[in-house]
Structures are given as C-alpha cells and as structure tokens.
C-alpha cells in the first residue's frame, strides 16, 4: 500500500480543536490561586494580567462588568483567588483564564478594600483635624440623612428631642445599603449644601443602624467620603454599633458611635443650659452685691475722714493764722510810728538849736504834710491788710463748702450708679431668661397642634403636603393632631385652585 498522506490542518482548525478539547476536558468553573503580575487596567474598563507561581504563568482577562464588582484595588505581587474558566484566544492562539470573581487570598475582599481606601484618603489628608468644622453650640435646624423606614431615624430624633426639644428636624430619606446607596447619599449631601441658603440647616447627621461590613459598605465608598469632606455644613456620622468604624466616621467633622448617641454629640442638654443660665444669674447678682458693698465701705471710710467729721476745723485754723498775721502787722506798724516820732523829735531839737526862724514856717507846713501822709498811708495799709484777710477768709470758707458739697455729690452719684447698674444687670439676665424660655416654647414644632392646627404628610414619601402636587391619587395621607393622635386617609380626588 502506498503511504497514507497525513491530514493537513489550518492554524484556525488547530486552534478550534484545542478550544474544543479544553471545553470538554476542563470544568466549566474552577478557582485558581496565584500572584498578580503585569497588571493592566485598560481605558475600556477591562483588566489584563497574569497569575503566576514559582513555576508557571497563566494569562488572565477580567471584563469591565465583572471588575466593577471588585471592591479592593488589585496590585502586582498581591496573592489572590480567581474564579472563572479557561478558553482559547484565537487571534493569538493562546489559552487564557477568564475571571468572573477576584478575591484577595488570606483576607476578606471588603476588609482589604477598606484598608486600601483608608490609606489612600489618609495620605490625601481627608482625616486631618485641621479640616474638621466646629459644631454649633445651640443648633436650631438639623438635617438627617438616613432611611425613613429604619430604626436609626427614631433613635436619632428621640435622643435630640429629649435633650434639646427646641431643635427642628428635617429628614432627607436615602437608601443606606446596597448597590448605588453611596452615590445617592453623596448626591443628597450635595443637594442639601446647594439649597442650604433656603434650608438654613446648622448640622447634618448621616447614619444608619448596625450590620455586617457588607451592610455598612455604602459608608466606606470613596464617593461618599469626598462628599462629606466637601460639605460646607458640619456633618456628624452615626453609623452602626459601638465597635463599627467606617470611612464616613473618619472623614466626618464629628462621630457618634451609635445613632442614639448622635443627639448627645449634636445638641446640648437643655437642663444643663438652664442650670448654666441660673448659675450665671447668681454670679451676676453676687458680683453686683459685692461691688455695692465695696462702694458702701469706701463711703464709710470717706465719711469717717477728718474733712467730714470736722469740716470747720480747716477754716478755724486759717482764721487763727490770719489773727496771728494781723497781730504781727499791727506790731510792725506801731514800731514804725515810734521810730518815725523819735526821728522827728531828734530833728526838731536839732533845728531848734540853730533857730531857723525863717524856715520854721515852711518846715512846719512840710512836717504837717508828712504827718498827714504818714497817717493816711498807715490807715491805707491797715485797711488793705484787713480787706485781704477778710477776702482770704471768705475764699477759704467757700472752698471748704465747695469741697464738702462736691464730695457728697460724687459719693451719692456713685452709689446711685452702682445701684442702677446692679438692677440693670439683674433685669437684663431675667429678661434674657424669660425670652429664651419663650423662644424655646415657640420653636417647638408641635406646639401649634394644641391650638387646633394639624400636620399632614404623605405616608409613601414622609414629606409634608403643602400643595396638590405633593401627593398622588390613591396615596395615603397621615394627619397628626394634638397629643400624638393620627388620622390616615386615602386621596380620591385632587383640586388645584392656585399655584
């Protein structure tokens, strides 16, 4: 027999045969463990890499739709578990491992993703205290972002109303777990910040009750962390139980370990505030009394001084000095007169000895003139001294009286000012306390219910009904009356009479 010629195959046929053998021989799904190498994340979203061990390398592909579900960030050198199937890539004639699920080896995927995200955001400074916004001491309007059907909303509202009943709460209902929850919460945060000039919110509380790491994962997503960081309104994160820590807790301005404790973090205790005001009033009163008592003691010291006990003593002492000066002046004038008479007598005797008959008449006239002038001068000096003494005595009396009156007026005015100041401080504190109590009562959002008003909300959305467009035919309305009485009614007809 002639030698049988071997069958000739094309490259495509060989590739097809290998593909068929692989499909029929290998299981449809299996798990491969190995170390990532040559990691490439294409702009299309698809991932191309290899899994290797100490002996071999396995080419791998993970399509974008599958990789979207991976929470952690794969890196070269990372040990992973890949679940998928083997098939041939015809254009290059090589087999590839098509991965549907990728997990880190030795640690949970969510835990690894959490640790990677914490490191990334921490390196960027999103957790630094310098970026934390201070919480207002006495918030009046508080926004709450959580599920309207969860227990967290009741825990938060109860804790706030028990501590600070004057606060007005606004619920922004959002999903708190599952696909897309983080995106919706982040969008809600941006929307509230954008509209806050109208809303006037002082604080936002974002949170939910406890659960597994997977249940809480929305609060570990990067998109929500950045929305919290960018918020201009201070944010309190209240997620899970005491032991739970999320990335939202780390980036928020403040953290409450549970939704119930959000009220403790967000608002003060009204009893403590009232006690603080009472203590402040007591301190003001005591301080005013102390100032008044000190002024009274100062007044007693002033009144006990010599100037007030013996006000005429200074005048009498001055009078005594005037008397002494007057006596000295009289003695001096007397001595001058005696000396002048003696000189005159001596001159007369000398003149008599020479017998100046011809000049006697003239000198007699001159002598008489001198005597008259001397008498007039002496009298003038005496009168001048007496006038000066009298004027000085009057001035001293007027000064003493003015000093006495001025001191008495100043003391009386000072005492009146202290009394008025003390009354003003006390009245101001009392008015502030009364006004604050009135404001607290007026701000209670349910106080109007006792006056015959009611609050109507949609049972489906939980939002207030202000216009016909806020509710649909067939929806159930919940009307709240005084004393927490509720009425449910179903909408069968709507009528719009205005915008």
| CA separation for the pair 401, 396 (Å, rounded) | 8
Q: Report how far residue 172's alpha carbon sits from residue 479's, in angstroms, rounded to the nearest whole number.
A: 20
- Which residues 6+ apart lie within 8 Å of 315 measured at CB? 393, 396, 397, 400
CA 315 to each of CA 102, 307, 350, 400, 493: distance values in angstroms, whole numbers, following the listed order: 111, 11, 53, 7, 102
Over its C-alpha atoms, the chain yields an Rg (Å, rounded) of 53
Question: Of 100, 105, 62, whose CA–CA distance to 81 is shortest?
Answer: 105
pTM of the complete model? 0.47
Q: What is the pLDDT of residue 399?
A: 65
Q: What's the DSSP call for residue 106?
A: S
Cα–Cα–Cα angle for 479, 154, 183, nearest 5°? 100
Which pLDDT belongs to residue 233? 97
Closest C-alpha among 257, 264, 270, 259 to residue 156 = 259
Do the Cβ atoms of 33 and 105 come closer than 8 Å?
A: yes
Angle between helices 357-443 and 313-354 (to 10 degrees): 170
Cβ neighbours for 256, distance < 8 A, ≥ 6 positions apart: 205, 207, 236, 237, 238, 262, 264, 265, 266
Rounded to whole angstroms, what are the CA distances from 281 to 82, 137, 138, 268, 432? Answer: 71, 20, 19, 19, 10
27, 97, 98, 201, 372 from 17: Cα distances, Å: 17, 18, 19, 69, 168
CATH class of 11-106: mainly beta
The C-alpha angle 340, 346, 352, rounded to 5 degrees, equals 130
Domain 114-268 in the same topology as domain 11-106: no
Residue extents of the structural domains in the chain:
11-106, 114-268, 286-442, 450-490
- The pLDDT assigned to 441 comes to 62
What token pair was written down for 201? Answer: 């919110």
| Residue 364, SS3 per DSSP | helix
Query: Considering the domain 114-268, what is its CATH architecture?
Result: 3-Layer(aba) Sandwich (3.40)
- The per-residue pLDDT string of the chain (499 residues; one tens digit each, 9 = 90 and over) reads 456 778 877 788 877 888 788 777 788 888 888 888 889 999 999 999 999 888 888 999 999 999 988 888 888 878 888 899 988 888 888 889 999 988 887 666 677 778 888 999 999 999 999 999 999 999 999 999 999 998 899 999 999 999 999 999 999 999 999 889 999 999 999 999 999 999 999 999 999 988 877 888 899 999 999 999 999 999 999 998 888 889 999 999 999 999 999 989 999 999 999 999 999 999 999 999 999 999 988 888 887 776 677 777 778 788 888 888 888 888 888 888 888 888 888 887 776 666 555 556 666 777 777 888 887 877 887 787 677 767 776 776 676 677 667 767 776 777 677 667 667 766 776 777 677 666 666 666 666 677 777 888 888 888 888 888 888 888 898 888 887 788 888 888 888 776 5
Residue 121 contacts residue 222 (beta carbons within 8 Å): yes
For residue 235, which phi and psi values (nearest 5 degrees)? -120, 135
């Amino acid at each position: 027999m002639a030698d049988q010629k071997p069958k000739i195959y094309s490259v495509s046929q060989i590739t097809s045969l290998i593909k068929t053998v692989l499909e029929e021989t290998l299981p449809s799904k299996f798990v491969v463990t190995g170390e990532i190498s040559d990691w490439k994340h294409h702009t299309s979203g698809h991932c191309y890499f290899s899994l290797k061990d100490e002996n071999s390398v396995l080419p791998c592909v993970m399509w974008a739709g599958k990789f979207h579900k991976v929470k952690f960030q794969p890196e070269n050198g990372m040990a992973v578990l890949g679940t998928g199937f083997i098939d041939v890539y015809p254009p290059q004639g090589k087999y590839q491992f098509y991965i549907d699920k990728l997990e880190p080896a030795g640690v949970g995927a969510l835990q690894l993703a959490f640790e990677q995200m914490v490191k990334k955001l921490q390196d960027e400074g999103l957790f630094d205290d310098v970026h934390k916004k201070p919480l207002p001491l006495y918030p009046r309007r508080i926004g709450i972002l959580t599920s309207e059907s969860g227990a967290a909303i009741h825990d938060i509202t109860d804790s706030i109303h028990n501590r600070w009943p004057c606060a007005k709460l606004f619920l922004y209902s959002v999903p708190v777990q599952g696909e897309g929850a983080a995106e919706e919460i982040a969008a809600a945060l941006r929307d509230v910040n954008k509209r806050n000039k109208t809303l006037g919110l002082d604080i936002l509380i974002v949170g939910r009750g406890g659960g597994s790491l997977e249940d809480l994962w929305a609060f570990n997503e990067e998109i929500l962390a950045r929305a919290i960081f960018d918020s201009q309104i201070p944010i309190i994160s209240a997620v899970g139980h005491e032991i739970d820590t999320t990335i939202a807790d780390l980036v928020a301005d403040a953290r409450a370990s549970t939704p119930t404790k959000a009220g403790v973090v967000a608002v003060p205790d009204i009893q403590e505030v009232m006690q603080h005001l009472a203590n402040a009033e007591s301190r003001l009163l005591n301080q005013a009394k102390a100032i008044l008592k000190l002024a009274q003691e100062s007044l007693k010291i002033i009144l006990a001084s010599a100037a007030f006990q013996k006000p005429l003593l200074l005048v009498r002492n001055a009078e005594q000095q005037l008397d002494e000066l007057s006596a000295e002046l009289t003695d001096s004038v007397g001595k001058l007169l005696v000396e002048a008479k003696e000189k005159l007598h001596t001159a007369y005797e000398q003149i008599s000895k020479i017998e100046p008959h011809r000049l006697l008449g003239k000198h007699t006239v001159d002598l008489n003139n001198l005597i008259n002038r001397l008498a007039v001068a002496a009298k003038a000096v005496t009168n001048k001294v007496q006038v000066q003494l009298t004027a000085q005595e009057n001035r001293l009396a007027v000064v003493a009286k003015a000093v006495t009156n001025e001191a008495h007026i100043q003391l009386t005015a000072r005492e009146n000012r202290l009394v008025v100041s003390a009354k003003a401080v006390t009245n101001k504190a009392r008015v502030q306390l009364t006004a604050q109590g009135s404001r607290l009562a007026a701000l209670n959002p349910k106080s109007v219910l006792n006056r015959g008003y009611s609050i109507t909300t949609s049972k489906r959305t939980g939002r207030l009904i202000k216009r016909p467009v806020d509710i649909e035919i067939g929806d159930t309305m919940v009307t709240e009356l005084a004393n927490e009485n509720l009425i449910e009614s179903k909408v069968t007809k709507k009528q719009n009479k205005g915008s």
